Amino acid sequence: MAPFDLDACIEQLLKKQLLHETLLREICEKTKEVLMRESNVVHVSAPVTVVGDIHGQFYDLIEIFRIGGYAPNTNYLFLGDYVDRGLFSVETISLLTCLKLRYPSRVQLIRGNHESRAVTQTYGFYTECVRKYGSPHVWTYFTDMFDFLTLSVVIDNRIFCVHGGLSPSIHSIDQIKVVDRFREIPHEGPMADLVWSDPDPEKEDFAISPRGAGYTFGSGVVHKFLDQNGMSHILRAHQLCMEGYSSLFDKHLSTVWSAPNYCYRCGNSASILEVGPGESMFFNVFEAAPENDRDGPNQQSAQNASGKVIFIVLSIALTHISYLSFQNISFEPRLVHLQMINSRYQQLRYDTWIIYANLC
């Protein structure tokens, strides 16, 4: 039994109030004990509501609960990428961690490629923790906890759920069970592939990924994996879908995306997937939380913030590219078209700034 009131912690977070650093340390330690007992492949039963990337968009997470219901009345499976890019990663991961600890059998958290020390030091979570708490201690508590997150979930022995995709090193579910997950995400290998890989409708087999980590994989890989493991569907996140979701390979693979108006700029819809008994699957599409429901920055300041983040990301990425071949560094490439405007602030305007496989 936790030595603190989790219901009070959840209520405080829902009021948009940060938890104390000492309390977060205790919560992360207790959650690690819960996660340690879980397999690399967690089995759950329908009904369950599946949530894709959130990326620190806390007010949209609240919107998800408003639409889909709150735990424990609704069972939830989150597919990873809880932090980075959005302005409220601390609040987002704090709430999800409290919910996992409070309702461990009702809330499942899968590890995404952003649940990583290396990635969060570049894409916002580290900086946010230091800004909100005055030190990197909270970042350390959470990133240590990330090492304990499961890698996959199977729903009713028929739907394989993972953050990214498949791996040429993994042919069966049993092979996932023996992966050593209690560590930082490596630069290559089956664990990296599960969180980094992407489907490619133009491919049949595995191919090198433009991300610099993981692989792309085609219809032949998907059908073979499903046949060998007696399953009917692969469910994943990791890629922006302008309509909130997408389906490939004769609807044997689906991507769910749950961060609407991504980075406060993109204008995309989002969705959660409600998986019911039998073959029931319903994508519940929603838009960004209304402005008057937010206590955070207004639209203009959010746009300015996202512009600064992307500018920093591009600068770091270009620096890394120059010596990538000499160091064992994994980074996320960006394909971005930029137009320089507003010399007063030298801000960046994006005419087309998203290509699905290269932003998440």
Sheet containing strand 245-248, strands side by side: 41-44, 152-155, 159-162, 233-236, 253-256, 245-248
- Half-sphere exposure of residue 216, counting CA atoms within 13 Å on the CB side? 16
Q: Which residues are catalytic?
A: 114
Q: 31: closest CA among 4, 13, 54?
A: 4
- Quote the CA–CA distance of 337 and 328 in Å, as a whole number: 28
| Beta partners for residue 350, in sequence order | 338
Q: Which helix (H) or strand (E) holds 160?
A: strand 159-162
Return the C-alpha torsion angle 22, 28, 30, 31, nearest 10.
160
228 in Cβ contact with 172 (< 8 Å): yes
What is the residue type of 170? I
User: Any idea what the Cα angle at residue 262 is, between residues 261 and 267, rounded to 5°?
Assistant: 35
Tell me, letter by letter, the H, E, C secondary structure of 75-99.
Answer: CEEECCCCCCCCCCHHHHHHHHHHH
The residue type at 353: W
On whether the CB atoms of residues 339 and 353 are closer than 8 A, the answer is no
Angle between helices 89-102 and 125-133 (to 10 degrees): 90
Instruction: For residue 306, give the 3-state DSSP assignment.
Output: helix
